[in-house]
Amino acid sequence: MGSFGFLRGDSSDRIDRIEEKVRQMLVHDRHEFDLAMSALLGDVPARSVNDELRSTDQKVNQAEREIRRELVVHASVFGAIEIPTVLIYMSIVKDVERVGDYAKNIIDIALDGVTFAEAPDIEAWRELAAEISAFIRDAADAFQKRDGERSRALLTQGDRMLDAFDDRVSALVKGEDAQPNPVARALVLRYIKRVVAHLLNVLTAVVMPIHRLDYFDEDPEDRT
């Protein structure tokens, strides 16, 4: 088991609801990301999946509000002894909610008419989309199981990805990458970087004390 967990007592049904809603939020996040990338990569028209993505994001937002209400009730029942866990979950659900927001940012680029369908490196983009989709799935699984070993491995993997995204954006800014749509590419890479960073924040809850939540939201040189 990981480093945190609720007291069960008479409110086990409420706790089960909270944890199931967090899991479902991550499932929705992955679906949103997959839809956004499928539009950007030219697999589907952006407008044909936009409504589905937006409605899925509304489910994420609704779940976040419901979880926050449940947490307030839980804190009122158990008092100060549960405050650390409540704070952890308050932080977690905000990070989970933000993943969907960046999926919306990505599809907005596709809605503006940008597509990578004819890009010379289209296969590399497909591989990246599949890697991030799997990362969302794996992060959700590690979090749900409070799997510290797997969470640490994912944190290491995610940190490498953050560095790679920075390198790719720097190459675009410096003109060292002459691929088409440089502005769109830089934006998408930044959005995907934020998706990964928010997932890393979720994983910190499994392996780090409460005062170090969001530790991976900063670049390595800025972490304290």
CB 139 within 8 A of CB 197: no
Residue 24 pLDDT class (50, 70, 90 cuts): very high
Residue 131: CB atoms within 10 Å = 13
Q: Is the dihedral of CA 18, 83, 138, 183 positive or negative?
A: positive
| Minimum mean pLDDT range among 78-87, 100-109, 136-145, 175-184 | 78-87
Residue 81 pLDDT class (50, 70, 90 cuts): low
Q: Could you give the 3-state DSSP secondary structure of residue 94?
A: helix
Phi-psi region of 43 (alpha: psi -120 to 50; beta: other; left: phi over 0): alpha
CB 89 within 8 A of CB 78: no
Would you kindly state where each structural domain of the chain is located, as residue ranges? 12-222
Question: pLDDT value at position 2?
Answer: 42
The CATH topology of domain 12-222 is Methane Monooxygenase Hydroxylase; Chain G, domain 1 (1.20.58)
Question: At residue 174, what is the residue type?
Answer: K
What gap in Å lies between CA 118 and CA 134, rounded to an integer? 24
| Minimum mean pLDDT range among 29-38, 65-74, 132-141 | 65-74
Closest by CA position to 191, among listed 36, 27, 25, 35? 36
Residue 219 pLDDT class (50, 70, 90 cuts): low
What gap in Å lies between CA 218 and CA 224, rounded to an integer? 9
Rounded to 5°, the CA angle 153-210-28 comes to: 60
Residue pLDDT, tens place only, 143-193: 988 899 999 999 999 999 999 999 999 999 999 998 899 999 999 999 999
